[in-house]
Chain A
Amino acid sequence: MKKMIMKSKEKNIILCCMSIILACIMLFPIYWIVVSSFKTNAEIFASPPTFIPANFTLESYTSQFIGKNSIVVTFGNSCIVAITSMILACMLAIPAAYGLARFKMRGKKTFIMIFLVTQMLPVALILTPMFLTYKNLGLLDTVWAPIISDTTISVPFVVLILRTYFLSLPREIEDSARIDGCNTLTAFTKIMIPISYPGLIMTAAFSFLFAWGDLAYALTFISSPEKRTMTASIYNFMGKYGIQWNCIMAYGVLLVLPVVLIFIFLQKYIIGGLTNGAVKG
């Protein structure tokens, strides 16, 4: 018996070491972007490469804050786009997911099918017609163009995962709310929304992340540098900065930072959402 326990303890240690090594390899690029952002441009090209910055410097960060259209402006733009798109997506997707989960109706399969299919559409298909449409509507080169198009990516995704979430909640909750005098709408807003907060957090997180990370829409629909989001600006840096990798990496770190913060605080909701949403639709 003692031998058995020993064996499983050893096995535990071996497996832990193995997975730590694998995680280090997988996550090395993330370490590398952070380290490189603290190096001087000369050290970036040093051979052999340094794994810890020899001359630790914040220069590549501080340089992002000066000048016209600095990171302060683009960060603000990214926040406006991502947060507005998140609010819009929540307002549209939460009721839709609830409706598809709780009500009997004709055409339900078709509606679910529409959301499933739109989730699979390539960006390239939407770019050209929407560019021309936004131009006609006068929305080109305004934040609304990327906001609307980013929302079309998050709405179907969120509707489908949130629907399975609502399905998992017992129906009795609403029945008892009805007995206590709620109507359909108040049962939804006063009872269902508060108790389904894990699903709603996941909804908000995903719709924010989709809009935050989008490049294609932001780059195509916005032409004025002062209206660009962070992703579109970092893309344009390649031309401006050439191979000043430390500056590009610093910008990248600042762009990734909100994503990592969201991930750290909402990890369990995000992983739950990914596994639920993707397998079932």
Chain B
Amino acid sequence: MLKSNHSREFIKEERIGYLFIFPALIFMLAFVGYPIIYNFILSFRDVNVTTFSNPIKPFVGLKNYIEVFKDPTMGISIWNTLVFTIGSIAIQFVIGLGLALLFNLKFKLSEPIRGLMVVSYLIPMTVTALLFKFMYSTSGGIINELLMKFNLISQPIGWIIDSKYSMLSVILTNSWVGIPFNMLLLTTGLSNISPTLYEAAKVDGANVFHRFFKITLPCLRPAILSVLVLGFIYTFKVFDLVFVMTNGGPVNTTELMSTFAYKLSFTQFSFSKGAAVANVLFAILFVVSLGYLGLIKEDEVMD
């Protein structure tokens, strides 16, 4: 039925199209699709450093998931991942929006300075993590030195070694990386708002606050939504930054699901448990991604 609707020309064009797409598609299915399935299987078997070289890996059902959830670190890491994600998104969104509004005022240096700020987004995460680790340190760390100079604190704070401040420290670092990303996307959103709207509002006597809450925010809604959802997806899976800065410590206070999964697989060599934790992380991301795809469904991306 479907086939008869398509002319021979359509079939020919389709075949050529497939030739263009298939190399990339097959590559992705082989090196991303296959591992996802492998990971799923792995999480129901018992694969660790002793059973690894055996040809037959025993099927253990949900045992890995049960054991992982019995481990108090699992609950802590889920909670930490949520705190880390929401904290980072809140900070980088508010500052990113502020900067986007500022640079949208179109003054002389707005474009070059805005461009310059993107650098922090492009620096390799490993370097950012080490740099902030250095700046946070108790001896010679510039952050403590500055805070003491302005008499805000009397003694150096062990930002990343004190369990009270460690989460805050990694959140601030991650926000520093994320601010330019938020700023750029919101700038694009702002530039799509027609200036005539503001002119009309001015004529009607609306002040700055009215204009912000009645025009800017509602018009920016699609951009805000995609920034928040993409921010959630990117932050929820952060690994390198925390791995290098604290490796989950002190005492699990910054342990994220991603670092916990890595630890299980590559420090304790319980590959199956690591796979189980990664699957839980994936499941949460998958649900959020589906929501996001629903959001952009009407967008031109699906042309």
Which chain A positions have C-beta within 8 A of B14?
103-106
- Enumerate chain A residues within 8 angstroms of B185, measured Cβ to Cβ: 275, 278-279
Q: Chain A nearest CB: distance from B13 CB in Å?
A: 6
Using Cβ atoms and an 8 Å threshold, which residues of chain B touch A105?
A: 13-14, 17-18
Whole-angstrom distance from the CB of A66 to the nearest CB of chain B? 21
Q: Which residues of A have CB within 8 Å of B34? A: 129, 133
B37 → chain A, closest Cβ, in Å? 8
Task: Known contacts A184-B16, A216-B239, A280-B299; decide if A18 and B102 are in contact (CB<8 Å).
Answer: yes
Judge if B278 is at the interface, Cβ distance under 8 Å.
yes
Say whether A30 contacts B223, CB under 8 Å: no
Residue of B nearest to A245 (CB): B134
Q: How far is the CA of A227 from the CA of B4 in the complex (A)?
A: 56
Residues of A within 8 A of B42 (CB): 128-129, 132
Inside 8 A of A118's CB, which chain B residues have their CB? 28, 32-33
Chain A at the B interface: mostly helix, strand, loop or mixed? helix
**In contact, B244 and A235 (Cβ under 8 angstroms):** yes
Evaluate contact between B142 and A112: CB separation under 8 angstroms.
no
Contact B120 A167 (CB under 8 A): no
Shortest distance between the CB of A120 and any CB in chain B (Å): 5
In the bound complex, do residue B281 and residue A122 qualify as a contact, i.e. CB atoms below 8 Å apart?
yes
Question: A111 at interface (Cβ–Cβ under 8 A)?
Answer: yes
A96 B24 Cβ-Cβ under 8 A = yes
Q: Which of A77-93 contact B (CB under 8 A)?
A: 91-93
Residues on A with beta carbons closer than 8 Å to the beta carbon of B107: 11-12, 15-16, 19
> Can you give 22 A-B contacts (C-beta < 8 A)?
A16-B109, A22-B99, A96-B20, A100-B17, A121-B32, A121-B36, A122-B239, A124-B281, A125-B39, A125-B281, A126-B39, A155-B27, A159-B24, A167-B303, A216-B239, A248-B130, A252-B131, A256-B124, A256-B127, A271-B184, A274-B181, A279-B185
* B169 contacts chain A at the CB level, 8 A cutoff: no
Q: Are B36's CB and A125's CB within 8 A?
A: yes
Q: How far is the CA of A259 from the CA of B124 in the complex (A)?
A: 8
- From A32, A120, A133, A259, B289 is in contact (CB under 8 Å) with A120
- A26 contacts B237, CB within 8 Å? no
* Nearest Cβ on chain B to A114's Cβ, whole angstroms: 7
Decide: A128 and B115 in contact? CB cutoff 8 A: no
Flag if B10 contacts A104 (CB, 8 Å): yes
- Cβ 8 A contact of A113, one of B113, B118, B130, B293: B293
Q: A32-B135, A99-B17 are in contact. Are A130 and B124 (CB under 8 A)?
A: no
Q: Which residue of B lies closest to A110 (CB)?
A: B25
Tell me if B32 and A15 are in contact (CB < 8 A).
no
B residues near A279, Cβ cutoff 8 Å: 185, 188-189, 223, 226
Asked if A178 is at the interface of the complex by the 8 Å CB criterion, the answer is no
| Option from A152, A213, A274 in Cβ contact (under 8 Å) with B118 | A274
